[in-house]
Chain A
């Protein structure tokens, strides 16, 4: 596929939770275009609708209004079969690695499922093993030590890396990373980000990065969308949005993050 062609777009996407006085517009008429091969960040504070938006893109919840186009065609996930087909192309890493695994499945099973999903069910045992070992070594985990372990025996950082190993096996076209580093300490964060970027280069993925940390968004992404109360208030290239923001909301988000070369103004809250 050509770089730069549109692979996912949303038109007038709206999600309303509740009715009457309980009505809450989580995502409000959002238009969104994702080109092949780019890294896009969606930044906003808690409750701005980032996660709802990402769940709609994943097809986990249905939008109240609006359409999603996948590779130029209207997305059709009306049946379970079509949904599974769609999920071969779009995958996600969630915030909390501890809740992302089925606790009854061993790590072997987790990785084997990914191979199955890619249609590798007929491969020989050795071939499957090699694939799994390759995926583990990509994220600096040792496959031999993991085979008989359960996910909860790993540390948070290791779990998140295993999540990336899954993505490595699945090779989806689009990866949606919902705050993948917020539960991880600052030191492993660099490792995880580097791995994600390396994976993008290797597999040629398009990445949607969802975060509340604007510094992180600036580091990883080409394009940044700023979300406030369900709407995109500002978007553009990372340098333009973060170094010369036009909206007050963006300026506030930037001022809320501690910096080291500039003074941090605490009087604004």
Chain B
């Protein structure tokens, strides 16, 4: 087993709204990422994916508040550290974050190289400009970005190029964990592919030690990451390798998500996409029982009463449902058969 780079134990964070209501957007989440591995987080909008990403950095600002749990990066617990210390010694150098609209992080009045100088000076004030320039040039070359980008203003770059520039800047300090939150959702398919290729290269070339990739595009996740975690209403509902999560999902919600995959492959037109009815629960007042019960077609009366723990099963998989593995697989098989019969009729 490889060294564990990031370990999160029972992390709970909440938002406090202006009406003093508590919204638990990340609810007892535990995860582990090993060296050289990547973890994907999937889920609907509003399920807590992005909040989890923000919480993992250990840097909290209102309305997001830390409640309980531990975040351990390479043996160091950062969850109880002082915000100033985190800013100085964790952000950027241990853990880096690429938000969805990362391209807006570039300062429009500065050239890219001045932006990089600022980044370095915040962490290491004793580095000269020449050293920084040489280093940035080398790094950009390795990452397949042209050197001239360094002398450009952000407005002169295309969206995909800006996104790749920000990714390159975010790994200049060799962070151990890189969190990419929908880095490609604002880009068209060709730029998306370039961004994905770059992220995979980062891992292979050792710029980063592990990658956490957040998106709602399952085909993308399947191609990028080793493991996939599905989130629903602030909780993890399914955990497994990419292959298992896509082709053999256990939780009914994960199964529903996999039914919405669209890929340009033969056979797609014969399948009717299945949408999950209903909307996610309001986290201000989450249901007592299983949070998916309202939308689940297999739900039993007791599902609405008893909350479900995450069930660990063989091979590092886990899911959150009352039914056993066999029962779920049997139910899905029957459903598929019904669908097939319906289509043939």
Contacts and interface: CB of A to CB of B under 8 A. Distances in A.
Interface of A: 45-46, 140, 155-157, 185-191, 193-194, 212-219, 238-239, 242-243, 252-254, 256-262, 264, 266, 268-269
A49 B329 CA distance: 47
B268 A156 contact: no
A231 B268 CA distance: 27
Interface of B: 44-46, 188-194, 196-197, 200, 216-220, 222-223, 246, 256-257, 259-266, 268-269, 272-277
8 contacts: A187-B44, A193-B273, A218-B264, A219-B268, A239-B266, A242-B264, A259-B223, A269-B194
A186 B217 contact: yes
Contacts of A259: 219, 223, 263-265
Contacts of B222: 258, 260
B255 to A, nearest CB: 12
B217 A194 contact: no
Contacts of B257: 186-187
A262 B268 contact: no
Given A186-B257, A258-B222, A194 B273 contact: yes
B269 A219 contact: yes
B190 A186 contact: no
Q: Which of A140, A185, A268 has its CB near the most chain B CB atoms (within 10 A)?
A: A185
Contact of A260 (B45, B200, B246, B272): B246
A137 to B, nearest CB: 14
B93 to A, nearest CB: 28
A56 to B, nearest CB: 21
Contacts of B220: 258
A269 B253 CA distance: 34
Contacts of B192: 256
A185 B216 contact: yes
A190 B276 CA distance: 9
B83 to A, nearest CB: 31
A257 B189 contact: yes
A239 B270 CA distance: 12
A254 B223 CA distance: 15
Given A193-B273, A256-B193, 6 more contacts: A45-B190, A46-B191, A185-B45, A188-B44, A190-B274, A239-B269
A191 B246 contact: no
Contacts of A239: 266, 269
A140 to B, nearest CB: 8
Contacts of A242: 264
A186 to B, nearest CB: 5
A189 B219 CA distance: 14
B276 A257 contact: no
B276 A187 contact: yes
Q: Which 9 A-B pairs have the closest CB atoms?
A: A190-B273, A191-B275, A190-B260, A185-B216, A258-B219, A190-B275, A256-B189, A215-B264, A46-B188
B264 A257 contact: yes
A218 B256 CA distance: 21
B197 A262 contact: no
Given A187-B256, A238-B269, A269-B194, A261 B44 contact: no
Contacts of A185: 44-45, 216
A189 B80 CA distance: 40
A269 B193 CA distance: 7
B166 to A, nearest CB: 18
A213 B188 CA distance: 8
A260 B263 contact: yes
A266 B262 contact: no
A260 B268 CA distance: 11
A253 B189 contact: yes
Contacts of A186: 216-218, 257, 260-262
A269 B197 contact: yes
B261 A260 contact: yes
A258 B44 contact: no
Given A185-B45, A186-B217, A190-B273, A261 B193 contact: no
B269 A257 contact: no
B192 to A, nearest CB: 7
B197 A190 contact: no
Given A156-B45, A188-B275, A193-B273, A212 B197 contact: no
Nearest to A47: B188
